[in-house]
């Protein structure tokens, strides 16, 4: 069964560094999403992406964040200058035209 | 403001027992309501999805109900197993023009099933 994959599973970075989190959505899906979950807290919506542009973004998704679908298969989330409070699990999800979203296993980002 | 509230925050039950988890929401425009199971350190996995017109939906030992008038949902787990130990998250989807869905997550109920 096709699934969303994410790499790396765990990323450790120093404050102020740039990180890129990678996702490979399910191949025939058209909508792509990033969510984050700070340890012990609820999952929060970051951004949705469709037709090579951002459809919606939350207040969390500020200028430090960007998304890209560089090659038709990968979907990336870039954090330009990481802060301690960016430490969280980041989940990618994708969906076809229907409303079901399929989540990847997540990338644990630790900012030191 | 779009919100999803869940209760209880945590629950401990004995293996084989039943339990019911609650979800209240204020989300607009409402598209559907989902229950997810999330194991520690893993991504959420969908258990059920219900649209406005559906009152109940089952998936094995999981049965979800939806009352769209009162904006309440419940997830009933029958004959619990040790592997049911996880967080159960109520997620309400708002559907916008263009076809994409914005998911609003509850904080989850942490269920522990003890032998």
Alpha-carbon distance values, A111 to A32, A79, A89, B96 (Å): 25, 11, 12, 34
CB A11 within 8 A of CB A107: yes
Q: What's the pLDDT score for residue B99?
A: 62
B99 touching A, CB under 8 A? yes
Nearest-Cα distance to chain B for A16, in Å, is: 25
pLDDT digits (tens, 9 = 90+) for B29-53: 888 899 999 998 888 988 998 988 8
User: Is there a cis peptide before residue B8, judged by omega within 30 degrees of 0?
Assistant: yes
Q: Do A44 and B105 touch (CB under 8 A)?
A: yes
Q: Do B107 and A105 touch (CB under 8 A)?
A: no
Q: What's the pLDDT score for residue B97?
A: 64
**Which one of B101, B105, B108, B109 makes the best mutation probe of the A interface by having the most chain A beta carbons within 10 Å?**
B101
Tokens of A51: 């037709």
Q: What's the pLDDT score for residue A15?
A: 97
Bridge partners for A65 per DSSP: A79
Q: What's the pLDDT score for residue B98?
A: 63
Closest Cα partner for B101 from B45, B40, B39, B32? B32
Closest Cα partner for A44 from A62, A65, A25, A60? A60
CA distance A112 to A42: 22
Q: Which among B42, B98, B105 has CB closest to A105?
A: B42
pLDDT digits (tens, 9 = 90+) for B76-110: 999 999 999 999 999 998 876 666 667 889 999 99
- Nearest residue of chain A to residue B109 (CA atoms): A42
Contact residues on chain B for A97, CB-CB shorter than 8 A: 99
Ranges of chain A whose pLDDT falls below 70: 98-99
Q: What's the pLDDT score for residue A87?
A: 97
Q: Do A45 and B101 touch (CB under 8 A)?
A: no
Q: What's the pLDDT score for residue B103?
A: 84
């Amino acid at each position: 069964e096709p699934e969303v994959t994410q790499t790396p599973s765990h990323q450790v970075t120093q404050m102020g560094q740039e990180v890129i989190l990678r996702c490979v959505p399910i191949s025939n899906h058209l909508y792509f999403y990033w969510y984050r979950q700070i340890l012990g807290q609820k999952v929060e919506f970051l951004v949705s992406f469709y037709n090579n542009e951002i459809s919606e973004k939350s207040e969390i998704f500020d200028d430090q964040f960007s998304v890209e679908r560089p090659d038709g298969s990968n979907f990336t989330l870039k954090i330009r200058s990481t802060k301690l409070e960016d430490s969280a699990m980041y989940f990618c999800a994708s969906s076809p035209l229907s409303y079901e979203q399929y989540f990847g296993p997540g990338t644990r980002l630790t900012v030191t | 403001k779009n919100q999803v509230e869940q209760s209880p925050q945590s629950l401990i039950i004995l293996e084989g027992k039943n339990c019911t988890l609650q979800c209240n929401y204020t989300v607009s425009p409402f598209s559907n309501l989902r229950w997810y199971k999330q194991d520690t350190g893993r991504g959420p996995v969908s258990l059920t999805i219900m649209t406005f017109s559906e009152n109940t939906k089952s998936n094995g030992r999981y049965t979800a109900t939806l009352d769209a008038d009162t904006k309440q949902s419940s997830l009933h787990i029958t004959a619990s197993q040790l592997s049911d130990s996880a967080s159960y998250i109520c997620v309400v989807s708002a559907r916008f023009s263009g076809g994409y869905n914005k998911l609003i997550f509850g904080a989850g109920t942490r269920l522990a099933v003890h032998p």
